[in-house]
Chains A and B, each alone.
Chain A
Amino acid sequence: MKKGIALITVLAFVLILSLLMVPLYVSVLGMTSTLRSIQVLPAKHEAFAAGLNVARTLIVNAQSPATSTSIDLAQGTIVVTAYLSRSLESDLSLQEGQEGIDCEETMRLCSAVNYWDVTVTFKDAYTLTGTAVQYVMFQPDKDYVYLLDFKEGRK
């Protein structure tokens, strides 16, 4: 008889505990799903900012008209690509001692201003595209890279 009462007590206790747990579970589930849906916003914000910094370095050190790199961040992988869309020629060939310089071989030296089409892709789902303009100086670390008119598009 006593064992029966003890069992019922335990079962009742478990039942009450379960009833308490259900709303707790629903609440926590609601919170986590909501937070998960918005956490991509700051992650994307940081990834794009990092991607544009990478784009500056990529452009300054570019050896060819098309260049690309990918970096694994804590927020996800970013892929940065830059394509040279057009260049404005410098007056280097007119300068003393530089006559006859082969501008085909020395892409960097003969350009004064380079226009690059830049794409930053985050997690293979979000893309940021725009134009970067490079003012070519005598040394790559002295170059100026201006990031212009970027827009976000989704793949």
Chain B
Amino acid sequence: MKGNKSFKGMTLIEVLISLALLSVLMVVVLFTSTWLFTFVKNRLIALPNYVIGLSRAYSAVYLNAQDIQLSATYSVDKNLPSVTLYKKSGSDLVSNTVNFKELIRAEALSTATSATVTLEVQTASVSIQQPADNKFLLLLYLSIPSSDGRRFDNTVVIKKLVNAAPVPESFTRNGNNVIVDLYYPALGFGVRPTGSSDLQLVTDTSTITTIIDDNGVRKTATVSLTGTTLNGRNVYQELYIQTSATTQPVFVTIPPLIGVDGTPCEDVTVKVVTSP
């Protein structure tokens, strides 16, 4: 009997210990599951915010990237970083500066930070790279850290699509002289050095060209560029062909020109048409 009582007592202690262990276990399970639920909930709620934040930054950059791809030319400031682009407006080129860092901070993410895990907008960065061998290409790197230590990166590749070619737009006669308005301004005349197939810019603003009069006779004429400044650089919007001929030229040879974005234009002989 004594042995039986001892056995029953041990069983009671075991039950109590088991209950105590179970209680500890349940408490651990409670805290662990709470932490797990909170962890999952935070990430699930924050996930669309990450995507929305990044998407808005991405689209803000992309919409402005489209302006760059359709601009005549652009200049890059890697420190801000910003891109100043130039678009044709009438006969002029109008500039517009896109500050990408400001764009991301001010517009893209201001309302995308209400989740438990937030995007660190203030330390978000955007940088611009321009490949040395392709001046028509820009690479924009977006990098946005989050409060839980993760970092979200994205890259936008911008390729400039249009050519700022100084092709003839219209002709005006001034006595026997001819003024050629250029579609885009030129940086200057192009020359092809011996042994090279590429046109290179020369700083001279006058040269000799050919005109053909109404008798089909070829004569020489002096051609010069007149214009203005763009981004601190001389650019030329008009070509002035000055001739000493006594009759009006019917055809003129427009010499090779280099555009403001470096686009080379070959020489071409065209009939002078004063009304387009």
Interface size class of A (residues with CB under 8 A): 35 or more
- CA of A93 to CA of B209, assembled, Å: 20
A35: Cβ under 8 A from any B Cβ: yes
CB distance from A121 to the nearest CB of B (A): 16
Q: Mark contacts of A112-128 with chain B using CB atoms, 8 A cut-off: 1 yes-contact digit, 0 otherwise.
A: 11000000000000000
Q: Mark contacts of A11-45 with chain B using CB atoms, 8 A cut-off: 1 yes-contact digit, 0 otherwise.
A: 00000000010011011001100110110011001
8 nearest A-B residue pairs (beta carbon): A30-B48, A146-B165, A89-B271, A88-B270, A41-B62, A146-B163, A23-B44, A31-B51
CB distance from B193 to the nearest CB of A (A): 20
Question: Which residues of B222-267 are within 8 A (CB) of A?
Answer: 251, 263, 265-266
If A30-B52, A113-B168, A146-B265 are given as contacts, then 13 extra A-B residue pairs at C-beta distance below 8 Å, sorted by A number, are: A23-B45, A38-B55, A41-B59, A41-B63, A48-B161, A52-B161, A89-B273, A91-B271, A94-B212, A112-B268, A135-B167, A135-B268, A152-B70
CB distance from A110 to the nearest CB of B (A): 10
A interface residue numbers (CB < 8 A to B): 20, 23-24, 26-27, 30-31, 34-35, 37-38, 41-42, 45, 48-49, 52, 86, 88-91, 94, 112-113, 130-131, 133, 135, 144, 146-152
Contact B162 A147, beta carbon cutoff 8 Å: yes
- Which secondary structure dominates where chain B touches chain A? mixed
Residues in chain B near residue A151, CB distance under 8 A: 70
Contact A49 B159, beta carbon cutoff 8 Å: yes
Option from A31, A52, A91, A133 in Cβ contact (under 8 Å) with B47:
A31
Can you list 18 A-B pairs with a CB-CB distance of less than 8 A?
A: A26-B44, A27-B47, A37-B55, A41-B62, A41-B63, A49-B159, A90-B269, A90-B271, A94-B251, A112-B268, A113-B268, A133-B167, A144-B266, A146-B265, A148-B88, A148-B162, A149-B88, A150-B162
Option from B44, B62, B163 in Cβ contact (under 8 Å) with A24:
B44
Contact A45 B69, beta carbon cutoff 8 Å: yes
CB distance from B264 to the nearest CB of A (A): 9
Residues in chain A near residue B45, CB distance under 8 A: 23, 27
- CA of A135 to CA of B256, assembled, Å: 12
CB distance from B272 to the nearest CB of A (A): 9
Q: In this complex, which of B48, B266, B276 has the most chain A Cβ atoms within 10 angstroms of its Cβ?
A: B48
Contact A148 B41, beta carbon cutoff 8 Å: no
Q: In this complex, which of A20, A48, A112 has the most chain B Cβ atoms within 10 angstroms of its Cβ?
A: A112
CB distance from B43 to the nearest CB of A (A): 9
- CA of A146 to CA of B47, assembled, Å: 45
Contact A30 B51, beta carbon cutoff 8 Å: yes
- CA of A149 to CA of B62, assembled, Å: 19
A91-B62 contact given A27-B45, A147-B162, A148-B163, CB 8 Å threshold: no
- CA of A103 to CA of B62, assembled, Å: 46
Contact B270 A146, beta carbon cutoff 8 Å: no
Q: Mark contacts of B161-200 with chain A using CB atoms, 8 A cut-off: 1 yes-contact digit, 0 otherwise.
A: 1111101100000000000000110000000000000000
Contact A27 B271, beta carbon cutoff 8 Å: no
Contact B168 A88, beta carbon cutoff 8 Å: yes
Residues in chain B near residue A20, CB distance under 8 A: 40
- CA of A88 to CA of B271, assembled, Å: 6
CB distance from A89 to the nearest CB of B (A): 4
Q: In this complex, which of A49, A131, A149 has the most chain B Cβ atoms within 10 angstroms of its Cβ?
A: A149
Residues in chain B near residue A48, CB distance under 8 A: 69, 161
Contact B251 A91, beta carbon cutoff 8 Å: yes
